[in-house]
């Protein structure tokens, strides 16, 4: 299979500082365990800003989070992702002239990402101040085959001279995190979290071990070099950095190749990370670099076969969609020790924390393409379930579990509780994600091992926070998905997600009982049938706000009482609003940062009629700024459902191209992984109308008039299905697995091979 539009490139690179720092994120290398920002090996001038970072998913230290007033239960420390080392620095000198694109003359420059090969690269043709011309090709890879491995292949070709070549390659373990005191999405202080512990050095190889100052974790990075021709390689300590000098000669038209191998290990999964790093380095060196490249291509070939997505009629959009899906597999953790951060492993935005983004925007993609990844992500939530129980006690609840709003290792890292810890809907999000995984895979074993316990414990929490009033069950003082409306009573999204959680807790109780797999779980957590009856009563009595006059679901009890924010006449330089207006000013207005009730109508569509969803969509569209990257994809999905095809396409384009075009102006801090998952959902759940329910799998496809065709593959239960939609017909093909009953609009079909449905015949 050939991936269409699998290469993203930029020719004639800009040296504007803002462009460079954005491209550090756009072209970063990651594999779910490590992530390396795409900094120039030789660096920038001292006057330039740069986020020079290398990260390990889930590796953290503890930082103070001082509260202005010390109130009970408010966290005073947090976890933060660390910049663990710099192994990407390489300086090149030719006959004593140091290579830099900021000096001499750059005759040609290109940067590219190859999504089939899993590599990024730079190609530069450069003339030195003294007239020597060289062609430089640099290839980078973070290996999916060996997750600890990062390689740089540095090729130098002499075009019009012969002479001496020297590489100075650095291995730095004393590094700092990036900071920006003006942006709440980035750490405010630049801190060195690591203390150097051990150094092991020989001629070609170095291993540096550091320990975090407060979390007690260790990290080891190892570096080794190979050269394609005879030369000298000497390693020395320079202050606390390891510097390796590689010297050789070069003839005219000759090409020499330096390969720099870096391995990263940590003590979260291994007791002795130094011994593990040595083992990983030997593993890396045991096969040629070309074999590593082959394994990378092999991994990605299988990946693209599972999540194939083609759009015929808009090449730029196809590239953007493929880019987004590539970043998801780069970003997501591959075991239960970690998750997926809001910025992947591309930058330090949100300090490497995990949010509800995982469950609501990213797991839907992996459910349909690589459900084993979702299994790991649910496994991570299960590993931190005890900490969620502890968090519930801190928040004053006597039973159940409350997952933190933002975290790395399971405790709350949100310092501003109105738009953080008050977001109780994260419990409903996690429960919903487990149920969605089960409906897609029918993997009952995961429910027995982990998922059911989470669902029961999150359901318990709703009975702790809610109460009955005039015969209805109400949930007060919470914050829904919209962070411009905080601390409200009966947020519609929260209440309907709680209802779903409670109802499924009851269903699972009896499913597991029927399978004779309930007793162990029930005994372990003290769950009784009486408690299940409490769940059922609360779900059936759940209060869902409704306005008779407007025929919409109000976002909460007080939302419609507030003054409407004048979005049209707000200056463009005042967006996003959170950076320019006090939170209380926002809270007093009808203004939404992102989809909230509209999101609820997508996720829990059976709770309301189509007419109410249409009225609500029209209403909230006028008061939503989409300051959150999580928003436009949801509006696109709902516009598709409501038959608003032009709006659906407009919202989709904004979502798909968000990072490649830096639409929100903050891609420098890292990519927007949740939006990338949302882009996929906007096609599959939006245009194709996919829904997976207890009663089966459903489609209601439409196609934008700008496209000739779109095609994608999904996994459902034990089968893989290919869906192809063009302007004339819809085609469903069973690629593998057992036959399936599928629904297209209101009709049911038995899919055994292929089904072709002409427009109007559905």
Per DSSP, the chain holds a count of helices (H) and strands (E) of 20, 32
Q: Is there a contact between 551 and 615 (Cβ–Cβ < 8 Å)?
A: yes
Torsion sign across C-alpha atoms 192, 194, 196, 200: negative
Query: What is the DSSP annotation of 288-319?
Result: -HHHHHHHHHHHHHHHHHHS-EEEET-HHHHH
- Helical segments of 583-631, H only: 583-587, 597-603, 610-621
Distance, in Å, from the CA atom of 743 to the CA atom of 327, rounded to the nearest integer, reads 31
| Helix, strand, coil % in the chain, rounded to nearest 5 | 35, 25, 40
Q: Match 């190859």 to its residue by tokens.
A: 114
Q: Is there a contact between 740 and 719 (Cβ–Cβ < 8 Å)?
A: yes
Q: Coil, helix or strand for 42?
A: coil
**Among candidates 640, 645, 646, 678, which has minimal Cα distance to 659?**
678
**Cβ-based neighbour number of residue 394 at 10 Å:** 16
Q: What are the strands, taking DSSP E only, across 143-217? A: 149-158, 163-172, 194-201, 205-212
Q: Coil, helix or strand for 126?
A: strand
Q: Is there a contact between 177 and 187 (Cβ–Cβ < 8 Å)?
A: yes
HEC string for 647-679: HHHHHHHHHHCCCCCCCCCCHHHCCCHHHHHHH
Q: Is there a contact between 432 and 469 (Cβ–Cβ < 8 Å)?
A: no
- Selecting among 483, 531, 621, 724, the annotated active-site residue is 483
Q: Is 483 a catalytic residue?
A: yes
**CA dist list (Å): 710 to 259, 304, 703, 762:** 41, 15, 8, 18
Distance, in Å, from the CA atom of 705 to the CA atom of 708, rounded to the nearest integer, reads 8
**CA dist list (Å): 592 to 96, 411, 562, 624, 625:** 58, 28, 12, 4, 6
**Among candidates 171, 179, 199, which has minimal Cα distance to 90?**
171
Catalytic residues, by residue number, are 483
């Amino acid at each position: 299979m050939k991936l269409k539009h699998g290469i993203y490139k930029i020719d004639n690179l800009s040296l504007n500082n803002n462009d460079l720092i954005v491209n550090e994120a756009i072209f970063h290398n990651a594999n779910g365990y490590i992530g390396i920002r795409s900094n120039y090996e030789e660096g920038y001038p001292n006057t330039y800003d740069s986020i020079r970072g290398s990260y390990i998913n889930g590796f953290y230290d503890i930082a103070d989070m001082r509260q202005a007033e010390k109130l009970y239960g408010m966290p005073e420390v947090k976890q933060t992702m660390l910049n663990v080392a710099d192994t990407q620095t390489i300086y090149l000198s030719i006959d004593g002239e140091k290579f830099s694109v900021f000096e001499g003359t750059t005759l040609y420059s290109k940067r590219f990402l190859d999504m089939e090969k899993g590599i990024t690269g730079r190609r530069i043709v450069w003339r030195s101040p003294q007239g020597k011309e060289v062609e430089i090709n640099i290839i980078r890879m973070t290996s999916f085959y060996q997750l600890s491995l990062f390689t740089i292949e540095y090729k130098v070709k002499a075009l019009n001279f012969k002479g001496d070549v020297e590489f100075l390659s650095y291995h730095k373990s004393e590094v700092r995190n990036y900071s920006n005191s003006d942006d709440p999405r980035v750490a405010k202080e630049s801190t060195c979290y690591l203390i150097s512990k051990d150094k092991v050095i020989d001629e070609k190889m170095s291993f540096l071990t550091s320990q975090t100052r407060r979390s007690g974790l260790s990290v080891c990075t190892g570096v080794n070099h190979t050269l394609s021709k005879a030369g000298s390689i000497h390693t020395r300590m320079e202050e606390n950095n390891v510097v390796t000098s590689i010297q050789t000669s070069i003839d005219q038209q000759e090409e020499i190749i330096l390969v720099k191998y870096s391995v990263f290990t940590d003590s979260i999964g291994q007791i002795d990370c130094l011994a593990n790093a040595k083992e990983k380095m030997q593993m890396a060196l045991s096969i040629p670099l070309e074999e590593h490249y082959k394994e990378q291509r092999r991994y990605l070939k299988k990946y693209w076969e599972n999540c194939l997505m083609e759009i015929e009629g808009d090449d730029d959009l196809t590239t953007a969609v493929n880019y987004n899906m590539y970043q998801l597999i780069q970003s997501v953790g591959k075991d239960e020790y970690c998750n997926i951060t809001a910025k992947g492993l591309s930058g330090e935005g949100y300090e490497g924390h995990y949010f509800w983004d995982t469950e609501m925007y990213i797991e839907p993609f992996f459910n349909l393409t690589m459900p084993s990844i979702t299994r790991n992500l649910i496994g991570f939530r299960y590993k931190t379930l005890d900490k969620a129980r502890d968090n519930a006690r801190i928040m004053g609840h006597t039973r159940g579990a409350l997952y933190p709003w933002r975290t790395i290792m399971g405790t709350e890292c949100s310092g501003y509780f109105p738009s953080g810890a008050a977001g109780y809907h994260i419990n409903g999000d996690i429960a919903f994600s487990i149920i969605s995984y089960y409906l897609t895979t029918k993997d009952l074993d995961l429910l027995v091992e982990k998922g059911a316990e989470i669902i029961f414990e999150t359901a318990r929490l709703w009975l702790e926070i809610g109460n009955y009033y005039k015969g209805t069950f109400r949930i007060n003082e919470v914050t829904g998905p919209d962070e411009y409306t905080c601390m409200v009573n009966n947020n519609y999204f929260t209440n309907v997600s709680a209802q779903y959680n409670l109802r499924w807790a009851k269903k699972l109780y009896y499913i597991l009982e029927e399978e004779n797999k309930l007793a162990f779980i029930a005994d372990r957590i003290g769950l009784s049938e009486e408690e299940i009856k409490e769940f059922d009563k609360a779900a059936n009595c759940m209060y869902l706000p409704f306005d008779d006059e407007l025929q919409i679901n109000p976002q909460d009890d007080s939302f419609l009482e507030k003054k409407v924010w004048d979005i049209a006449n707000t200056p463009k330089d005042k967006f996003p609003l959170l950076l320019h207006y006090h939170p209380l000013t926002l809270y007093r207005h009808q203004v939404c940062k992102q989809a909230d009730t509209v999101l609820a109508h997508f996720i829990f569509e059976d709770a309301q009629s189509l007419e109410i969803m249409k009225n609500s969509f029209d209403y909230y569209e006028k008061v939503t700024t989409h300051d959150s990257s999580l928003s436009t994809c949801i509006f696109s999905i709902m516009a598709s459902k409501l038959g608003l095809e032009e709006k659906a396409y407009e919202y989709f384009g904004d979502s798909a191209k968000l990072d490649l075009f830096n639409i929100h102006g903050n891609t420098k801090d890292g990519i927007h992984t949740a939006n990338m998952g949302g882009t996929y959902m906007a096609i599959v759940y939006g245009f194709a109308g996919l829904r997976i329910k207890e009663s089966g799998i459903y489609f209601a496809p439409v196609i934008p008039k700008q496209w000739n065709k779109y095609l994608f593959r999904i996994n459902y239960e034990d089968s893989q299905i290919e869906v192809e939609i063009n302007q004339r017909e819809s085609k469903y093909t069973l690629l593998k697995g057992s036959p399936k009953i599928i629904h297209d609009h209101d009709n049911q079909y038995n899919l055994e091979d292929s089904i072709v449905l002409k427009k109007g015949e559905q």
